[in-house]
A and B are shown apart, each in its own frame.
Chain A
């Protein structure tokens, strides 16, 4: 998908500080010299293309509930099968294969530690593997929004 200038601007300017006013999209349009309808259209197209995951809130991990990074060492031929079990938990929001003996990495977030611990225990039970549990001890830097370098020469590839 080739992104329009409007879409690129939306991505690079509105990953944070989305307006808390009655007509926020009209405000974005005003700042970007566009119309409310065009902004909404651009965002819908980004969502359609699976580039926009959502326009919403990112909650603080610690204040919003319990969360941890976790990993499993999965025999290569079982990776898809185990990833599928892990994915089925609504509390798992990221799940990646990585190049390491610990080859499946996922993040579990839950309303509280009680649920979190039970999800981890259940994953161990269902997979027969020991989960490496690595909760955050200290956050030094979290830059959740990030500047996208839109290079027109490099077409955007769809992955996964």
Chain B
């Protein structure tokens, strides 16, 4: 696919152009303690990170004008509902020396996806494994795995061993190493304003 150099329009450079309309508010989930707005705020705080001070939940409770117990109980409820997948340290792997981050993409017959994905997921070196749609003709891969390592050669060797041991040599695949992180931050689901609020 050939592409011509982009026209760098004034519009694209104008931050106001980045805003898009807001969606209507979600329906209320069951909760007896915090108001919807307090729940929304709490999610923002949890996405931004707990205060690094002795009573973090108390601090958040004070900001929300509620009790520490209500905050803890709400987080506990979300954990039970699996809305929160995990609570803890979110580290930047690159900063810890895990610089070789490979996305391995496979073109697997639909009926074999579950079986092969199961085998790939069981390997310790695979941290994520997802099925995604093909977008033909440009994108024919439907299974994605992430493998993080300290250097590219080691990761390529791991992929080679894994491919051989699982007998996947006949399957078309591609390995996409990242070479620059332009952005890495926690997801901000609770952000209500879809525009760009940093400019």
Partner-B contacts on A (CB < 8 A): 10-11, 14-18, 20-26, 36, 40, 43-44, 46-47, 49-61, 63-65, 67, 69, 73-75, 77-78, 81-102, 104-107, 109-112, 114-115, 118-119, 121-122, 126-129, 132-146, 148-149, 151, 154, 156-160
Closest B residue by C-beta to A80: B182
Please, how many angstroms separate the alpha-carbon atoms of A92 and B193 in the complex? 13
Please, how many angstroms separate the alpha-carbon atoms of A81 and B6 in the complex? 9
Contact B139 A132 (CB under 8 A): yes
Question: Which listed residue (B11, B18, B54, B91) contacts A15, Cβ 8 A?
Answer: B91
Residues of chain A lying within 8 A (CB to CB) of residue B87: 16-18, 20, 56-58
Contact B185 A93 (CB under 8 A): yes
Partner-A contacts on B (CB < 8 A): 1, 3-9, 11-12, 15, 17-18, 20-23, 26, 43, 45-50, 52-58, 68, 72, 75-76, 78-79, 81-99, 101, 103, 113-114, 117-118, 120-121, 126-133, 135, 138-139, 144, 148, 150, 174, 176-199
Contact A112 B23 (CB under 8 A): yes
Contact A105 B49 (CB under 8 A): no
Question: Which listed residue (A22, A46, A106, A140) contacts B131, Cβ 8 A?
Answer: A140
Question: Which listed residue (A15, A95, A100) contacts B86, Cβ 8 A?
Answer: A15
Q: Can you show 7 pairs from A to B with CB atoms below 8 A apart?
A: A23-B54, A40-B53, A43-B52, A78-B5, A94-B181, A109-B188, A112-B26
Contact A53 B132 (CB under 8 A): no
B136 to chain A, nearest CB (A): 11
Question: Which listed residue (A75, A87, A99, A136) contacts B3, Cβ 8 A?
Answer: A75
Please, how many angstroms separate the alpha-carbon atoms of A104 and B103 in the complex? 13
A10-B89, A44-B52, A93-B187 given; A140·B121 CB < 8 A: yes
B157 to chain A, nearest CB (A): 16
Residues of chain B lying within 8 A (CB to CB) of residue A104: 182
Chain B contact residues: over half helix, strand or loop, or mixed? mixed
Chain A contact residues: over half helix, strand or loop, or mixed? mixed
Contact A50 B18 (CB under 8 A): no
Contact B94 A160 (CB under 8 A): yes
Residues of chain A lying within 8 A (CB to CB) of residue B72: 20-21
Contact A54 B49 (CB under 8 A): yes
A15-B90, A75-B5, A141-B126 given; A59·B132 CB < 8 A: no
Please, how many angstroms separate the alpha-carbon atoms of A99 and B45 in the complex? 35
Contact B192 A111 (CB under 8 A): yes
A114 to chain B, nearest CB (A): 4
B74 to chain A, nearest CB (A): 10
Please, how many angstroms separate the alpha-carbon atoms of A126 and B12 in the complex? 5
Contact B192 A24 (CB under 8 A): no
A36-B54, A146-B127 given; A53·B92 CB < 8 A: yes
Contact A143 B127 (CB under 8 A): yes
B49 to chain A, nearest CB (A): 3
20 additional A-B pairs beyond A14-B89, A109-B188, beta carbons within 8 Å, are A11-B89, A11-B91, A15-B86, A15-B91, A17-B88, A51-B96, A57-B86, A63-B81, A67-B189, A83-B183, A93-B186, A95-B182, A106-B183, A110-B191, A110-B194, A134-B144, A137-B131, A140-B129, A141-B117, A142-B128
